[in-house]
């Protein structure tokens, strides 16, 4: 599934759409500790977190995450939105808990493989 395909599901609210929407999402990744995400977020992941600050976007850029999904109704602050624009990172949000948002992505990815 590509970032564009995930956007087109309408399941997540769009905060910012980056340039590479044709990029494939490899897997969901859940983590709220930036230091752990920095070392363990897999390249191309859809990172689901409640950390809506600019440091999250910096780590997403560093780890080459495909996109960031803010869960639990978290809205990014203005500095985070600017960082997303600066690094062309797609950011979405949802009211779902982290696990449920990641599970939704995993089900879509698994459905593609079937």
Q: Are 90 and 11 in contact (CB under 8 A)?
A: no
The reported pLDDT for the residue numbered 38 is 95
pTM of the model: 0.94
Instruction: Write the pLDDT tens digit of every residue in 64-108.
Output: 999 999 999 999 999 999 999 999 999 999 999 999 999 999 999
Q: What is the mean pLDDT of residues 24-50?
A: 96
Choose among 64, 53, 68: nearest CA to 7: 68
Per-residue confidence band for 114, with pLDDT thresholds at 50, 70 and 90:
low
For the chain, what is the domain count?
1
28-30, strands of its sheet edge to edge: 13-16, 90-93, 67-70, 46-49, 28-30
Percent of the chain with pLDDT over 70: 98
CATH number at residue 17: 3.40.1390.20
| Domain extent at residue 90 | 3-111
């Amino acid at each position: 599934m590509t970032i564009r395909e995930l956007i087109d599901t309408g399941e997540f609210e769009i905060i910012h759409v980056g340039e590479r929407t044709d990029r494939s999402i490899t897997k969901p990744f859940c983590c709220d500790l930036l230091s752990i995400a920095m070392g363990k977020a897999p390249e191309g992941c859809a990172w689901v977190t409640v950390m809506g600050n600019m440091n999250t976007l910096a780590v997403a850029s560093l780890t080459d995450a495909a996109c960031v999904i803010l869960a639990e109704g978290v809205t990014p602050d203005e500095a985070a939105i600017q960082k997303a624009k600066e690094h062309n990172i797609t950011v979405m949000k949802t009211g779902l808990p982290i696990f449920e948002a990641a599970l939704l992505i995993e089900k879509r990815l698994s459905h593609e493989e079937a």
